[in-house]
Amino acid sequence: MMFFQLEIRTTKNKGRGIFALENIPAFSTIEIAPVIIMSAEDRKQLDKTLLHDYIFEWTPNAEPQCIMALGNVPIYNHSYASNAEYAMDYTTETITIQSVRPIAAGEEISINYNGDWNDEKPLWFDVKE
């Protein structure tokens, strides 16, 4: 498996982000990261902290859980038209980041926090009350 050179940089409007240091072809695995699985009860506590913005839903069965992904995963910024997507592997307890189109060297790598790379459903930070 080929891994690509990445860099964490500060972005103008989103804090830190992950940037490609080389061209990444479409449908390439960018990262496979282990996850820490937490219960629904843990989630209630996490929702009261800054970590709320960095956890993912994890539902391999009827019991709702959440995860904290390790590696660079928490630093990928959101885009409704992302250039990468994530996939959960419940067996290996990992999350994989894969490009959905070619990504140029210097380009920020983004994922859609909705789960599907082109899902435009507004997220909690875009919902106007």
Q: Mean pLDDT across the stretch 81-109? A: 96
- Select from 42, 36, 117, 104 the least CA-distant residue to 76: 117
Element (H, E) at 57: strand 55-58
> In order of start, what are the domains of the chain with their CATH numbers?
6-111 (2.170.270.10)
Q: How far apart are the first and last CA of the chain?
A: 45
Supply the pLDDT for residue 120.
61
Supply the pLDDT for residue 64.
81
CA 44 to chain CA mean position, Å: 21
In the chain, % of residues over pLDDT 70: 86
Supply the pLDDT for residue 38.
94
Supply the pLDDT for residue 124.
46
Are 84 and 101 a contacting pair, CB within 8 Å? Answer: no
Q: What is the three-class DSSP state of 52? A: helix
Q: Mean pLDDT across the stretch 96-113? A: 95
Query: pLDDT for 11-34, tens place per residue?
Result: 888 889 999 999 999 999 999 999
Supply the pLDDT for residue 127.
47
Nearest-angstrom CA–CA distance, 67 and 113:
14
